[in-house]
Structure 1
Amino acid sequence: MSTDVAAGPLRRRPRDRFRRRLVASLTVFVLVGAVAAVVGSQQGPRLRDVSYDPSGLVSRPAQRVILTANQALQRVAADAVTVTPSAPHTVTSSGNTIAVEFAGPLAYDRSYEIAVDGVRAPGQPATSELRTTIRTGSTDVLALVPATGGGKDRIVRRSLDAGGATTVYQATGITEYARLGRSLVVVSGTDGSSAVDIVPLAGGVQDDSVPVEHLTLPSRDGRVTALHVADDGASFGFEYADTTTGQSRDVGLYVVDMTGTHLPLPVGEDGKARAGATPITVAQWAYVPRTESALVRTGSDDLVLIDVSGRVEPVRLGSATYLHGFVGSGTSAVVETGTGIVRLDLTDGRRTPLVAPAASTDAAYLGRIAQLDDRTYVRVVGDVRADGTLAQRIVRVEGSRASRLPVVVPSDASVTAVCPSPNGQFLAVTTRSASGDLVSIVDATSGALEASIDAGSVDWCGALPSGDEIG
Structure 2
Amino acid sequence: MSTDDERPEVPAVPRTRAEMRAAREAAEREAATAEVRAAPAAPELVQPAAAEASAPEPVPPAAAEVPDTAPPITKPAFVPAPAPAPKAPRNRRFLLALGAVLGILVLVGAGLGAVSLTQGPRITEVQVDPAEAIETSGSRVILTANQSLAAIDESQVTVEPSAPFTLDAAGRGIGIRFTVPLDDDTKYTVSVADAVGAGGGPSATLTTSFTTPASNIFLLRRDVDKKDTIFRTDLTGESAVPVFAAGKINDFRATSSQLVVSVEEDEGSKLIVMRRDGTDQRELELPGEGYVGAIQVSDRGGLVGYSYSDKELSDTEGRASVLVTQSLTGDDDPVITEVGGEEANIFVWQFVPDSAAVLFIDFDGALSLVDRSSDAGVQSLGLATTIQGVSRGTYTAIVERLDGTVVELDLTDGSEQPLAASDPDYGTATTITPFPGGTLRHVVARSESGIPSGQAIVKVNDKGAATPLVEVGPTDSILQACASPSGQYAAVVIAPDLADNPYDQMLLPLPENMETHLVDLRSGDELVALTGFDASWCQTAPQF
How does the TM-score come out when normalised to structure 1?
0.85
CA positional deviation for 1:168: 1.2
| SS state at 1:250 partner | coil
Q: Quote the residue 2:335 is aligned against.
A: 265
Equivalents in 2 of 1:162, 1:358: separation in Å?
34
Q: Quote the residue 2:55 is aligned against.
A: none
Equivalents in 2 of 1:454, 1:287: separation in Å?
28
2:411 to 329, 346, 350: 346
CA positional deviation for 1:115: 2.7
2:415 maps to 1:415: no
1:67 to 143, 157, 162: 143
CA positional deviation for 1:239: 0.8
Equivalents in 1 of 2:301, 2:255: separation in Å?
5
Equivalents in 2 of 1:180, 1:371: separation in Å?
19
How does the TM-score come out when normalised to structure 2?
0.75
Equivalents in 2 of 1:346, 1:259: separation in Å?
28
Q: Which amino acid aligns with 1:238?
A: Y
CA positional deviation for 1:246: 7.3
2:251 to 176, 188, 193: 176
| SS state at 1:71 partner | coil
Equivalents in 2 of 1:195, 1:84: separation in Å?
45
| SS state at 1:13 partner | coil
Equivalents in 1 of 2:486, 2:462: separation in Å?
18
| Structure 1: gaps of 5 or more residues | 272-277
CA positional deviation for 1:396: 2.6
CA positional deviation for 1:254: 1.5
Sequence identity percentage:
29
Q: Deviations over 1:238-261 (max 9, x none)?
A: 111112257883111112224563
Q: Quote the residue 2:536 is aligned against.
A: 459
CA positional deviation for 1:404: 4.0
For 1:113-132, what aligned pairs fall within 5 Å after superposition?
A: 113-123=189-199, 125-132=201-208
For 1:85-104, what aligned pairs fall within 5 Å after superposition?
A: 85-104=161-180
CA positional deviation for 1:392: 0.7
Q: 1:45 to 1:173 in 2, by over 3 A?
A: same
CA positional deviation for 1:133: 2.0
Equivalents in 1 of 2:83, 2:383: separation in Å?
108
Checking the alignment, whether the CA contact within 8 Å between 1:158 and 1:164 is kept in structure 2 is yes
Q: 1:123 to 1:399 in 2, by over 3 A?
A: closer
For 1:438-457, what aligned pairs fall within 5 Å after superposition?
A: 438-457=515-534
Q: Which amino acid aligns with 1:61?
A: S
Please, what is the CA RMSD of the aligned residues?
3.0
Checking the alignment, whether the CA contact within 8 Å between 1:57 and 1:137 is kept in structure 2 is no
2:295 maps to 1:227: yes
Checking the alignment, whether the CA contact within 8 Å between 2:420 and 2:464 is kept in structure 1 is no
CA positional deviation for 1:175: 0.5
Q: Quote the residue 2:318 is aligned against.
A: 249
Q: Quote the residue 2:427 is aligned against.
A: 362
Checking the alignment, whether the CA contact within 8 Å between 1:290 and 1:330 is kept in structure 2 is no
1:205 to 266, 277, 280: 277
2:403 maps to 1:331: no
2:355 maps to 1:295: no
Equivalents in 1 of 2:360, 2:117: separation in Å?
59
Q: 1:42 to 1:310 in 2, by over 3 A?
A: closer
Q: Which amino acid aligns with 2:132?
A: G
CA positional deviation for 1:181: 5.2
CA positional deviation for 1:19: 4.4
Structure whose residues are more often strand by fraction: 1
Q: Which amino acid aligns with 1:316?
A: S
Aligned length: 448
